[in-house]
Amino acid sequence: MPRLWRMTKTIGCVCWISFCIAVTAAAGDHSKSGSVAEESIHGLAEKVRRSVVEILGTVQATGDTSYGTGFVLLQRNLVVTNAHVVRGVKDLIVRTNEGAAFASVEVLHVNEGVDLAVLRVIGLDVDPLSLSDRGIPSVGTAVVAVGHPRGYEYTVSNGIVSALRSLDPESPLLIQTTAPISPGSSGGPLLDMEGRIVGVCSLTLTEGQNINFAVPAREVGPVLERALRIEKNLADGRHDDLSPEDLARIVRGHRKQGDLVRAGTLVRKALGVHQGSLPLLLEAAEVAWSRGSYREVEAIVERMRSIDPTFAGGRQIHAAYLAQAGDCEGAIREGRKSLEGLLDKEQEAEAHAVLAECLGRVGQNEAALEHVDRALESPEIAGLPDYHALRAFLLQAAGRAEEADREAVVALELAGWDPMVVSALRERGLPRLVDVVSYKFEKDGRRFIVRGIVRNVGPVPLEEILVTAEGRDDTTTVVATGTARVQPERLVPGQSGAFEVLLAGAPEEVATYDVRVLDYRE
């Protein structure tokens, strides 16, 4: 999609929306016609209010909250929304205008080509809306957009159909409308003045004024029909009517939602019908991996290799298995081979991640850094602190200390300063949150003292900073040591503190000495 277009889903940020009902009066009695139009829109808004729902979830890549809109159609617990509202999102919750929340949400079908998805919401029971049977509305038709932007529950805006166009040669025809579609309103209904759905709100032009797009209602029917057929076939245990690719996609959806029991059950049944399906075998391996059943992963990989040893997806997960087993040479070989084949973006990113980890283990740091940079282009991997920590280690090994510090801080922030991540990074001296600015060695009577200054160069306050000084003789043997707490005990970012270390041992034999930060508490 061109850079100036964006999906109108918000992720963890408060977005603004203008709530306006602007009415163009016909020639004649302006106030009277305006009043009638306002009453008409008000009545329409009340009519559909209960059938337009808010869709929330957790973005897998970042952990942020995702917001979108949907509407009930055909059945009282069947919800239609945009595909991008549920893409890469787990723990879906559907909330009604009255505040009732439903967490048992199943994604029945997703059609990325027309940006539509169908959800089954257990427990939801509201009146469904109706699709318009008049085809695509003509230019100039009055329309109303309804949505749930974050922070502004149930917002209504009106306008007209201003054009019908495709954004690029491969995209479907879209309805361009002047009715504002604000961030978080993706998936909401675009209605005619009789309350029938003429489109599904989807896109807004960020660099334009009041240029918004909706998927025509004619695209909804086939997607809905497909979703219900898939649901029925799965309920009846009939997998032969579904292609292996369809089944693999459904398994992937359950796996991404964290429902490994359902994913595992379905993939086993599907493989009973399509025993040699590589997409299904790959999903079976992914489910086994998610459960930590590595022996099962190995067995499935062998099955894929026996069918097609060049299958790129099989090679990618084989590389991951070999890396987990400690065979880095094999993992590097398989990872590189997998990248020569056809992988989707997620698989390609995972292949780069495996290569980065294993090349780093064998000391090929520059090559590892190239692969970790490629892996971090994936939003999902970019949300994992592990690979930012790996990048920090690789940057440190390459002598790029300041970059390593910054990357280590990114890893810590993503991990919420988890003690295990803090410990792993600190073992490698990362990040350098405390900088020793200066120090000097002094003799004070019979005492030998190292005095100096440190500064908090990190993004968080630090407490109980402990500094150690070591003195070495002419043979570089440590002959005197000491530790001291920095004062004041708490330093905010950018603040400096002082230390005074009293050396014990044989300080009179010291030829050289150095100072380092031993410990601190975030």
Q: For residue range 51-107, what is the model confidence (pLDDT) as tens digits?
A: 999 999 988 777 788 899 999 999 999 999 999 999 888 889 999 999 999 998 988
pLDDT of residue 38: 60
DSSP state of 73: B
Question: Can you point out the beta strands (E) in 259-360?
Answer: none
Question: What rounded mean pLDDT belongs to the chain?
Answer: 87
Question: How distant, in Å, are the alpha carbons of 26, 441, 468, 477 from that of 473?
Answer: 96, 14, 17, 6
pLDDT of residue 202: 92
285 near 276, Cβ under 8 Å? no
* Max Cα–Cα distance, the chain, nearest Å: 103
pLDDT of residue 34: 47
Give the confidence band of 23 by pLDDT, cuts at 50, 70, 90. Answer: very low
Confirm whether 237-309 and 434-521 share one CATH topology: no
Residues 90, 482: Cα–Cα separation, whole Å: 52
Give the confidence band of 25 by pLDDT, cuts at 50, 70, 90. Answer: very low
Give the confidence band of 209 by pLDDT, cuts at 50, 70, 90. Answer: low
* Joined tokens for residue 182: 């604000």
Q: Kindly report the length of the chain.
A: 522
Q: Has residue 201 got a pLDDT over 90?
A: yes
Q: Which CATH architecture has domain 237-309?
A: Alpha Horseshoe (1.25)
Residues 47, 276: Cα–Cα separation, whole Å: 52
Q: Which CATH architecture has domain 434-521?
A: Sandwich (2.60)
Residue ranges per domain, the chain?
A: 5-220, 237-309, 434-521
pLDDT of residue 187: 96
Residue 483 sits at φ, ψ, to 5 deg, of -135, 155
Q: Using one digit for the tens of pLDDT, what is the confidence trace for 400-438?
A: 988 999 999 999 989 988 888 888 898 888 888 898 999
Fold annotation for 5-220: Thrombin, subunit H (2.40.10)
